[in-house]
Amino acid sequence: MTKQFGPVVALRALDLMIQPGELFFLLGPSGCGKTTLLRCLAGFYVPDDGRILFGGEDVTRLEPHKRNAGMVFQSYALWPHLSVAENVAFGLRERKVGAGEVERRVAETLASVQMTEFATRRPNELSGGQQQRVALARALVVRPRCLLLDEPLSNLDAKLRVEMRGEIRRICRDHHLTTVYVTHDQKEALAVADRMAILDGGRILQVGTPREVYKRPRSRVVADFIGETDFIPGRVTAPAGERFIVETGLGEFEGVPGDPDHRPAAGESVTVSIRPECWELKPQAAPRNSVRGRIGESTYLGDVAHYAFVTEGGVTLRIHERNPRHTEGTARETLNAAVAPDDVVILRP
């Protein structure tokens, strides 16, 4: 599918399959095309090329209200003059559902989002999290074929975001809903998604489970966007089974390609990506996957400490140590930072 706005190409020949009942996230920086894709699915935009299928039905040019897709917006878009129950019932009444059926389905849906006791209140009498639940209930009550969420938690504080992302996952599971969820929040996506697509410049860079995308990014852009990482330039010297040896300015590293289709040749320039939490500080050195240095600046956060590890060559690496043991008293010691081969990801430069 392709979508342009004048000279701007918002989506470039996307090809994507979302499975029934899947909680699928669209993730990427601002302007990457994720909201445009969601609005194409909802029917607010018509693609310039390509097709959108809901199951076997071509809905590419079908009007939004005929697609039976529930949409939850960033702003919630609740009617301020209607009660909670009336807001939830609105879509059913537009569909000419009988009064008794409306009452039953509204009651069931409010119970599923734990808002039964607030049925008679107006939106301005609710907290942000409660308004979010009402917006979800309004989308769910029409029994949509799919649920489309456009950054639904961006207006909530940090603690409520964590609570609500768990609730959204529960609700989607309970209703067996195929859900497409747009966010720029990496932790939200990693915590909730079944699978995710990383977009940039209107293209899909990688599709996979949260673990696959985080542990095996296929490109430098994906590795840099999801979580923190250090990039070390190097050159491949030899294969080692399914792994490869890379010579860098910090020594030799044995690692695995992030892209399974990429088998670098000897002499090829590559970039090594290592996540901060993958390093382990040890007193002894190793011939490979080990760097000598000292802890420079450190930030103690209780369960974890963040170190700026300054190597003997003057390169600074980020290291996150859980259950920190290297206090200020040992910070002047020379240490060895070691990393397992499976945590060394080899990328095209």
Q: Angle CA(201)–CA(53)–CA(50) in degrees, nearest 5? A: 45
When pLDDT is averaged across residues 122-133 and rounded to a whole number, the result is 89
pLDDT tens digits, 205-229: 999 999 999 999 999 999 999 999 9
Cα separation, 259 vs 217, whole angstroms: 7
Long-range contacts of 188-192 (CB under 8 A, 24+ apart): 188/153, 188/161, 189/25, 189/27, 190/214, 190/226, 191/165, 192/23, 192/25, 192/165, 192/166, 192/168
For the chain, state the CA radius of gyration: 25
The CATH number for 228-347, chosen from 3.30.70.270, 3.40.1800.10, 1.10.1200.10, 2.40.50.140, is 2.40.50.140
228-347 matches 3-220 in CATH topology = no
Q: Are 315 and 254 in contact (CB under 8 A)?
A: no
pLDDT of residue 77: 81
The pTM assigned to this predicted structure is: 0.86
CATH number of 3-220: 3.40.50.300
Span 260-283, average pLDDT? 94
* Structure confidence at residue 165 (pLDDT): 83
Band of pLDDT at residue 330, cut at 50, 70 and 90: low
The residue assigned the tokens 């129950």 is 85
- Strand 243-248 to 230-240 pairing: antiparallel
282 CA to centre of own chain: 33
User: How far apart, in whole angstroms, are the C-alpha atoms of residue 122 and residue 346?
Assistant: 55
Residue 310 is predicted with a pLDDT of 93
Would you say 321 and 337 are in contact if contact means Cβ atoms under 8 Å apart? no
* Mean pLDDT score of the chain: 91
CA-wise closest residue to 20 among 116, 146, 208:
146
Please spell the DSSP secondary structure of 210-247, one letter per residue.
HHHHHHS-SSHHHHHHSS--EEEEEEEEEEETTEEEEE
Torsions phi, psi for 322 (to 5 deg): -80, 150
Residues 6+ apart with CB under 8 A from 252: 237, 245, 246, 287, 288, 289
**Which of 75-79, 163-167, 174-178 is modeled with the greatest confidence?**
174-178
Q: What residue segments make up the domains of the chain, in order of their start?
A: 3-220, 228-347
Token look-up 């769910």 returns: 140
Q: Torsion over CA of 329, 334, 340 and 344, rounded to 10 degrees?
A: 110
